[in-house]
């Protein structure tokens, strides 16, 4: 994949937003983080005041993971395919939350076992404790698929993207990638996922440890920094879903399209994408705090501000980002629509 | 005012909600606090699944405060009246945020200086460091006004209320009430309000100290617990807005109508209302963390769970509750609309 360069958000629009914030009829800073958010929105939209989003799209990237067979999840692997049907019939959390806010949902099956899909990179992925998740060719194809998905969405008018994940075993893969790219220990990144018990947690930690050992061998002592190492990490740790997401996140930035990040799986892909194209993170916003410990490590490394909501959400599917979305739109609406001191004839501060 | 008894939320509906949550197509607990919220909503609505709110109303209670003349705010007192005009022309944060979510706004001027209003208890209130905020008769009238406002809204079909505040100096009054009812020191409750400097903060702390001394004298050594002491606290510390809100909050509970609380001023009124009718707090939800230190003391005493959002919001007007509202509606929608494991044919946990 030949990636294009990452553009910068619009500094003039940001400056105009900051100036306008200071003129709104409220004490300076009284809208707290909504003020920063509105400035960020102006930067990525390249205009002040910001415009309401016209077409927000949630892309749920689904794949199976070979590591699931080792009992790292509380749920059997067939749940991934079953959930695809649940998405189609509109019964999953992402469907309900997206509909509530007029967000279109697109489920992209890039690696689920036993399901038909034109976007499939492969069925499942390697057991990462003993084998590579993907081949080098599959990584390339997955990144290209991510680029194509971003292009398709932006070409159809999407002006905000939300990424979601579905795949039994995917927090094991996400935690491995985050450990690799932040230099963290397995015990620091391993969480309870869908709700595993202590034995499951130990199996998961061991799987992550073994996967990281394999990656170190594959990198031959080179630190996991930069695009080549990121591509190696995707090959060794995978899976197809993470690679597609990484390509998609990077290309969304190329296309000047902001992304509201979800939980630990999307943040792992974002960490990889930032290695593929430094500066992409300027186009992203963290939506939701994940109880998975790896997420905070990823966000810290990305230099992103704290997520907008902290409600113990750990479902994935993009659900956390969808819960956070109204905070972003509220921030934008206040900057766009509130009266200024002059307009309203309100006195300014005296002390 | 003769208050009616506070009813209990519906325990059967709560139990049904808890059982339904366990059947939804997601790992148990994966929707975090949204699950608790959906159960709370079923309790206050008396049904499971919950129904979307049909008529949400934001009531902004506005009044001036005599203490503002002592320089406890960064803004001059005339801003209260100016903001009433801003509310009328739709330029304030509450207007923008309410419109975004289809919430109706009603501004009730119960004590602004120099403005016409049928709901006025009095113009301004006493300087609480040296005189009572209200007379006993004014407290009675304000509580009755609050009861009437709640009744009017519920009779017109409101099924969720949001309270907002507007009044230069009102965080000084709110902090005094919270200090009195939680037994806290002035320095523990005094915040920066609209953004005062260190000198302003010292003036504010001294005003609160003097006001609390006056309340102790008025109570004659009796601890500030129970309805009589709460009414004395409203008389000494006021003001008209806080008393109206307290009556309104209590009566909303009588009418089985939930309220989403905003910042420190509304939480001060809630603390008073709970003294007027223990159990009213079961009908309330804390929307937003205030940087004012008194708010956490009030919420802790009320036994309410942490607010839904923590975004540094400190504007009042009900703006924080409006930013939090979509989280509650998202919680209710998931419980109402998500498919169950049986419906979707999804396997349940194996480990």
User: What is residue A194's predicted lDDT score, i.e. its pLDDT?
Assistant: 87
| Nearest-Cα residue of chain B relative to residue A308 | B311
Sort out which chain B residues have CB atoms less than 8 A from A194's CB and list them: 27, 30, 349
| Distances A207 to A129, A221, A242, B4, B170 between C-alpha atoms, Å | 5, 20, 18, 61, 57
Interface TM-score (ipTM) > 0.95: yes
> Contact B30/A315, CB-based, under 8 Å?
yes
Distance from CA of A224 to the nearest CA of B (A): 32
Strands A284-286 and A160-166: unpaired
Sort out which chain B residues have CB atoms less than 8 A from A351's CB and list them: 71, 73-74, 196-197, 200
User: What is residue A351's predicted lDDT score, i.e. its pLDDT?
Assistant: 57
User: Over pLDDT 70: what percentage of chain B?
Assistant: 99
Q: Which residues contact B84 (CB under 8 A, 6 or more apart)?
A: B62, B107, B109, B112, B115, B166
> Contact B309/A309, CB-based, under 8 Å?
yes
Q: pLDDT of B250-301, one tens digit each?
A: 999 999 999 999 999 999 999 999 999 999 999 999 999 999 999 999 999 9
Identify the H or E element spanning B84.
helix B78-88
Nearest to B343 among A91, A327, A346 (CB): A91
From the candidates A34, A103, A333, which should be mutated to test the interface with B, based on the most B CB atoms within 10 A? A34
Q: What is the mean pLDDT of residues A14-20?
A: 98
> Contact A344/B312, CB-based, under 8 Å?
no
Pair of tokens at residue B248:
């309104």
Average per-residue pLDDT for chain B: 96
Decide: helix, strand or coil at residue B30.
coil
Decide: helix, strand or coil at residue B61.
strand
Q: pLDDT tier at B351 (50, 70, 90 boundaries)?
A: low
Sort out which chain B residues have CB atoms less than 8 A from A315's CB and list them: 26-27, 30-31
Q: pLDDT of B18-67, one tens digit each?
A: 999 999 999 999 999 999 999 999 999 999 999 999 999 999 999 999 99
Q: pLDDT of A101-138, one tens digit each?
A: 999 999 999 999 999 999 999 999 999 999 999 999 99
User: What is residue B55's predicted lDDT score, i.e. its pLDDT?
Assistant: 98
Which of B236, B72, B263, B38 lies closest to B166 in space, CA to CA? B263
> Contact A30/B92, CB-based, under 8 Å?
no
A105 Cβ under 8 Å from any chain B Cβ: no
User: Over pLDDT 90: what percentage of chain A?
Assistant: 94
Identify the H or E element spanning B334.
helix B319-337
> Contact B346/A79, CB-based, under 8 Å?
yes
Who wins on pLDDT, B348 or B147?
B147
Please work out, in degrees rounded to the nearest 5, the angle formed at the alpha carbon of residue A321 by the alpha carbons of A133 and A336.
140
Which of B34, B168, B166 lies closest to A324 in space, CA to CA? B34
User: What is residue B112's predicted lDDT score, i.e. its pLDDT?
Assistant: 98
| Nearest-Cα residue of chain A relative to residue B338 | A91
| Nearest-Cα residue of chain B relative to residue A345 | B82
User: What is residue B336's predicted lDDT score, i.e. its pLDDT?
Assistant: 98
Annotation marks residue B156 as catalytic: no
d(CA A49, CA B46) in angstroms, rounded, equals: 43
Strands B160-166 and B56-63: parallel
With beta carbons less than 8 A apart as the criterion, state whether B128 and B67 touch: yes
With beta carbons less than 8 A apart as the criterion, state whether B179 and B75 touch: no
From the candidates B197, B326, B345, which should be mutated to test the interface with A, based on the most A CB atoms within 10 A? B326
Sort out which chain A residues have CB atoms less than 8 A from B315's CB and list them: 26-27, 30-31
Sort out which chain B residues have CB atoms less than 8 A from A86's CB and list them: 25, 339, 344, 346
Nearest to B31 among A25, A28, A313 (CB): A313
A3 Cβ under 8 Å from any chain B Cβ: no
User: What is residue A87's predicted lDDT score, i.e. its pLDDT?
Assistant: 97
Q: What is the mean pLDDT of residues A258-286?
A: 97
Which of A29, A54, A209 lies closest to A128 in space, CA to CA? A209
Average per-residue pLDDT for chain A: 96
Sort out which chain B residues have CB atoms less than 8 A from A99's CB and list them: 337
Residue B167 confidence (pLDDT) above 60: yes
Distance from CA of A271 to the nearest CA of B (A): 24
Q: Where are the beta strands (DSSP E) in chain B?
A: 56-63, 104-111, 160-166, 259-261, 284-286
Q: pLDDT of B294-345, one tens digit each?
A: 999 999 999 999 999 999 999 999 999 999 999 999 999 999 999 999 999 8
Please work out, in degrees rounded to the nearest 5, the angle formed at the alpha carbon of residue B280 by the alpha carbons of B279 and B281.
85
Nearest to A339 among B76, B79, B86 (CB): B86
Distance from CA of B10 to the nearest CA of A (A): 25
Q: What is the mean pLDDT of residues A36-64?
A: 98
> Contact A311/B327, CB-based, under 8 Å?
yes
């Amino acid at each position: 994949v030949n990636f294009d360069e990452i553009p910068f958000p619009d500094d003039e629009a940001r400056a105009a937003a900051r100036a306008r914030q200071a003129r709104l009829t409220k004490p300076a800073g009284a809208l707290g983080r909504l003020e920063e958010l509105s400035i960020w929105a102006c930067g990525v939209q390249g205009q002040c005041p910001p415009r309401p989003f016209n077409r927000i799209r949630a892309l749920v990237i689904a794949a199976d993971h070979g590591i699931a067979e080792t009992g790292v999840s509380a749920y059997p692997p067939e749940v991934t395919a079953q959930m695809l049907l649940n998405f189609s019939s509109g019964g999953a959390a992402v469907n309900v939350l997206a509909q509530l806010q007029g967000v279109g949902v697109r489920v992209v099956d890039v690696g689920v076992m036993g399901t038909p899909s034109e976007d499939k990179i492969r069925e499942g992925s390697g057991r990462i404790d003993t084998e590579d998740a993907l081949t080098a060719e599959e990584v390339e194809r997955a990144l290209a698929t991510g680029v194509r998905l971003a292009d398709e969405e932006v070409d159809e008018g999407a002006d905000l993207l939300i990424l979601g994940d579905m795949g039994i075993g995917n927090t094991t893969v996400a935690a491995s990638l985050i450990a690799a790219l932040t230099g963290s220990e397995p015990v620091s990144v391993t969480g309870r996922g869908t709700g595993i018990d202590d034995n499951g947690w130990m199996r998961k930690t061991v799987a992550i440890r073994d996967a990281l050992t394999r990656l170190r061998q594959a990198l031959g002592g080179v630190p996991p920094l930069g695009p080549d190492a990121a591509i190696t990490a995707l090959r060794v740790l995978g899976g197809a879903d993470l690679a597609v997401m990484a390509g998609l996140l990077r290309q969304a930035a190329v296309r000047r399209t902001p992304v509201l990040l979800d939980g630990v799986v999307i943040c792992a892909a974002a960490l990889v994408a930032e290695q593929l194209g430094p500066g992409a993170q300027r186009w992203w916003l963290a939506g939701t705090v994940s109880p998975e410990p790896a997420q905070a490590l990823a966000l810290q490394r990305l230099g992103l501000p704290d997520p907008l909501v902290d409600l113990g959400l750990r479902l994935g599917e993009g659900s956390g980002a969808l819960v956070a979305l109204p905070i972003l739109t509220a921030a934008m609406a206040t900057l766009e629509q509130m009266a200024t001191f002059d307009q309203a004839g309100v006195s300014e501060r005296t002390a």
